[in-house]
Amino acid sequence: MTTTERFQVSVEAAELYESTFVPAIFAEWAPLLIDTGRVEPGQSVLDVACGTGIVARTAADRLAGTGRVVGLDLNAAMLAVARRVRPDLEWQQGDAAALPFPAGAFDRVLCQMALMFFPDRAAALREMARVAAPGGVVAVCVLAALDRQPAYGPFVEMAVDRAGPAARALLSAYWVCGDPDELAATVRAAGLEVVESRTHLGAASFPSPEALAETEVRGSPLVDRISDEVFAWIREGAKEVLRPFTGPAGAVEAPLRGLLLAARVPGG
Ligand SMILES: C[S@@+](CC[C@H](N)C(=O)[O-])C[C@H]1O[C@@H](n2cnc3c(N)ncnc32)[C@H](O)[C@@H]1O
């Protein structure tokens, strides 16, 4: 199975991502990343691992009909939804580690909440640096490490207590490149000059603590390793650990800390 085949999800899953996860989690970060990347009218912008396209379409709104926006993702279903929402933008299937564009093709290269999933992050950053023009900017956004997450940190500790120590690695995908020094070092190794690195405390919204637990467990390999009883016990535990973030009507606003980094391509 190729990398492209492994990453395919159904159009239904991609529509659920767009209707549920984009508003609940990802939309907040798009304007922050676009500010960090210093996107301005007239520029050409690439959104790497665009998913259903929240960064690309927010950038297009910022460009207000000028310039060019391209969204690239491995996943055909994500791109189908992106195209349905914004048929006027360019959407292209491809791998972040082998970008199908010539050197220097874009003024800005943006990548939101995806670097952690790339098997070879250094190669992907080298590719982003290659397709950005001299003097251009590569900007990335990832989640901070679990020990800097006020809600997800305690949630994962509780899940590990209940499901056993193997659960830690199974729930770790989102948090693996959240060390700011390591991230900056990988970006510099790709030949880029870091010009800004900061954290932002955002929030993930869920209708209930159980809904957050469902999303985390079902979105990870843990779901196939635990019994229904342990899953129910984790849902119960979520009510306790997420109480500080649960409102009177039961909805959760879980703080989510992210890293935003901008790097300049030498020259230009
Ligand atoms: C959590 S989503 C983030 C999507 C989007 N940037 C957003 O903010 O909503 C991660 C995305 O990375 C894509 N992806 C994973 N590995 C990839 C790769 N090697 N090349 C391109 N896209 C990839 C997935 O298909 C998925 O759409």
Lowest-confidence segment of 51-55, 56-60, 170-174 by average pLDDT: 170-174
What ligand 1 atom has the least distance to the C-alpha of 29? 8
Question: How many angstroms separate the alpha carbon of residue 236 from the centre of ligand 1?
Answer: 31
DSSP code for 88: T
Lowest-confidence segment of 3-12, 33-42, 88-97 by average pLDDT: 3-12
Cβ-contact 199, 232 below 8 angstroms: no
- For residue 10, what pLDDT is reported? 87
pLDDT per residue as tens digits for the range 209-219: 999 999 889 88
What ligand 1 atom has the least distance to the C-alpha of 52? 9
Q: For helices 209-218 and 228-241, what crossing angle results, to 10°? A: 130
Is the dihedral angle over the CA atoms 49, 134, 260, 143 positive or is it negative? positive
pLDDT over 50 (residue 104): yes
Q: Are strands 132-143 and 252-264 parallel, antiparallel or unpaired?
A: antiparallel
Task: Tell me which residues have their CB closer than 6 angstroms to ligand 1.
Answer: 7, 22, 26, 49-51, 54-55, 73-75, 78, 95-97, 112-114, 117-118
pLDDT band for position 3 (50/70/90)? very low
Please choose from 36, 73, 85, 256 the residue to mutate so as to test ligand 1's pocket, defined by most ligand atoms within 8 A of CB.
Answer: 73
Task: Give the mean pLDDT of the chain.
Answer: 94
- For residue 219, what pLDDT is reported? 80
Cβ-contact 113, 143 below 8 angstroms: yes
50 or 223, which is more confident? Answer: 50
Distance CA 115, CA 104 (A): 21
pLDDT over 80 (residue 98): yes
pLDDT band for position 245 (50/70/90)? very high
pLDDT band for position 229 (50/70/90)? very high
Q: Are strands 44-48 and 106-112 parallel, antiparallel or unpaired?
A: parallel
Q: By CB neighbour count within 10 A (0-12 exposed, 13-18 middle, 19+ buried), where does 209 fall? A: buried
Q: What residues pair up with 73 in beta bridges, in sequence order?
A: 93
What ligand 1 atom has the least distance to the C-alpha of 51? 27
Please choose from 113, 115, 176 the residue to mutate so as to test ligand 1's pocket, defined by most ligand atoms within 8 A of CB.
Answer: 113
Distance CA 183, CA 33 (A): 16
> Mean pLDDT throughout 131-143?
98
Task: Give the DSSP letter string of 103-119.
Answer: TT-EEEEEEES-GGG-S
Question: How many angstroms separate the alpha carbon of residue 119 from the centre of ligand 1?
Answer: 12
9 or 6, which is more confident? Answer: 9
Question: How many angstroms separate the alpha carbon of residue 51 from the centre of ligand 1?
Answer: 5
pLDDT per residue as tens digits for the range 19-38: 988 999 999 999 999 999 99
Please choose from 50, 52, 85, 128 the residue to mutate so as to test ligand 1's pocket, defined by most ligand atoms within 8 A of CB.
Answer: 50
Among 163, 141, 173, 156, residue whose Cα is nearest residue 238: 156
Measured in degrees and rounded to the nearest 5, phi and psi for residue 43 equal -85, 160
What ligand 1 atom has the least distance to the C-alpha of 95? 20
Question: How many angstroms separate the alpha carbon of residue 247 from the centre of ligand 1?
Answer: 31
> Mean pLDDT throughout 96-102?
98
- For residue 173, what pLDDT is reported? 87
